Amino acid sequence: MIGIIEPTYGQHDHAAVNAALVRAVALAFPDEKILFAASPMHRRYVESSCRLPPQVSTIDIAVPPPGGVSVRRLTAQWRAFRAVMGGVNKPRAVILLSSGPETFFASRLIAAEFGAVSLFIVLHGNLNDAVGRRSRDPRRRLFDYRSGLAAARHPRIKLIVLEEHIRTAAIRLQLAPAPSLLTWPLPLNEDEIEKSALRRAAGSPIRIAFIGAATHNKGFDKFLTLARALSNCSAKRRYEFRLIGAMIEEFPEAVHSNIPLSAQPLARDAFIRNLREIDYVILPFMVDTYALTASGSLLDCVSQQKPIISLDFPAVRNLTERFGRIGFVCDSMEEMQNLLLSCQDVSDAVVYANFCDRLATISASRTTVATAGVIRRDIGP
**CA dihedral of 95, 100, 101, 105, whole degrees rounded to 10:** -30
Give the type of residue at 82.
R
Least confidently predicted of 21-30, 110-119, 183-192, 230-239? 230-239
**Averaged over 2-26, what is the pLDDT?**
92
Question: In CATH terms, are 2-187+367-379 and 206-365 the same topology?
Answer: yes
Interatomic CA distance for residues 266 and 270, integer angstroms: 6
pLDDT tens track for 197-225: 666 666 678 999 999 989 988 999 999 99
Interatomic CA distance for residues 94 and 246, integer angstroms: 33
Domain formed by 2-187+367-379, architecture: 3-Layer(aba) Sandwich (3.40)
pLDDT tens track for 52-108: 999 999 999 999 887 777 778 888 888 899 989 987 778 999 999 999 899 999 999
Which pLDDT value is given to residue 234? 67
What are the start-end ranges of the E strands in the chain?
2-5, 34-38, 56-60, 93-96, 118-122, 157-161, 181-183, 206-214, 239-247, 280-283, 308-311, 327-330
Tell me 324's DSSP state: -
**Averaged over 348-367, what is the pLDDT?**
91
Burial class (CB in 10 A: 0-12, 13-18, 19+), 349: exposed
Q: What 3-state DSSP class applies to 111?
A: helix
pLDDT at 8 over 70: yes
pLDDT tens track for 146-155: 899 999 999 9
| Annotated domain spans of the chain | 2-187+367-379, 206-365
How is 219-286 classified by DSSP, letter by letter? Answer: THHHHHHHHHHHHTSGGGGGEEEEEEEEE-S--GGGGGSSS---SSPPPHHHHHHHHTT-SEEEE---
**Third-level CATH fold of 206-365:** Rossmann fold (3.40.50)
CB 117 within 8 A of CB 155: no
- Residue 377 banded pLDDT, cuts 50, 70, 90: very high
